[in-house]
Amino acid sequence: MTPGRLRPTSTAMALREILTVPNPLLKKTSTKVEKVDDELRALMDDMLETMYAAPGIGLAAVQVGVPKRVIVMDLAREGEPPQPRHFINPEITWRSDEIAVREEGCLSVPDVYDEVERPARVGLRYQDYDGAHIEEEAEGLLSVCIQHEMDHLDGVLFIDHLSRLKRDRAVAKVKKAARDGEKAA
């Protein structure tokens, strides 16, 4: 939540379940948010709590089963104060020709990491927690993370940028881990 801003109701924040592959909802295109209201802010608060608990550095609403164009993120380094960020209806306005390669992971594809090529810098337009319209440039980890999260809004996972073999292996690994977890329970 934005510092100094209190949630208007007394409802506590809640952890939500993070969907994992091959859940079909992860392939769905998320819909535009029409109104930035307290219900949406409650969703974003829950998403941030869920992301911190995972732990992760970003989360798209569809990963908690809500196919709306909403992303939360916190790229603060260890020891730094939290820097929660909210991106509603994000759009990429330009992409650099320069490409950067970085290792990515995904809470919906647990324990799988691989390198992905993406434009090094992008222009962004989005609405923030209060619905204000923002434009900014992203580079480094912000650029990687926002492109990864915006892919989620279009039903694309980072493993979709890998070879068919790597993608199939990743899904098989997650399925096996889920089966093993069920047996142990």
Catalytic residues: 149
The only residue of 41, 68, 85, 148 in contact with ligand K1U, by rule CB under 6 A? 148
Residue 106 is a binding residue for Zn ion (CB under 5 A): yes
Chain centre distance of CA 147:
9
Choices 21-29, 53-61, 84-92, 127-135 (CB under 6 A): range interacting with ligand K1U = 53-61
Task: Give the span between the Cα atoms of 125 and 100, in whole angstroms.
Answer: 21
Residue 107 is a binding residue for ligand K1U (CB under 6 A): yes
Minimum distance of Zn ion from residue 2's CB (angstroms): 24
Residue 104 is a binding residue for ligand K1U (CB under 6 A): yes
The only residue of 66, 96, 105, 123 in contact with ligand K1U, by rule CB under 6 A? 105
Minimum distance of Zn ion from residue 19's CB (angstroms): 11
Residue 144 is a binding residue for ligand K1U (CB under 6 A): yes
Residue 62 is a binding residue for ligand K1U (CB under 6 A): no
Q: How many helices (H) and strands (E) does the chain have?
A: 3, 7
Minimum distance of Zn ion from residue 108's CB (angstroms): 5
CB burial of residue 13 (10 Å; 0-12, 13-18, 19+) = middle
Phi, psi of 156, deg, nearest 5: -110, 135
Q: Which is nearer to ligand K1U, 34 or 111 (CB)?
A: 111
Q: CB within 8 A of 79, min separation 6: which ones?
A: none
Put the strands of the sheet holding 58-60 in their side by side order: 58-60, 70-73, 85-95, 122-127, 133-138
Cα end-to-end span (Å), the chain: 35
Q: Which residues bind ligand K1U (CB under 6 A)?
A: 55-59, 63, 104-108, 144-145, 148-149
Q: Which residues bind Zn ion (CB under 5 A)?
A: 106
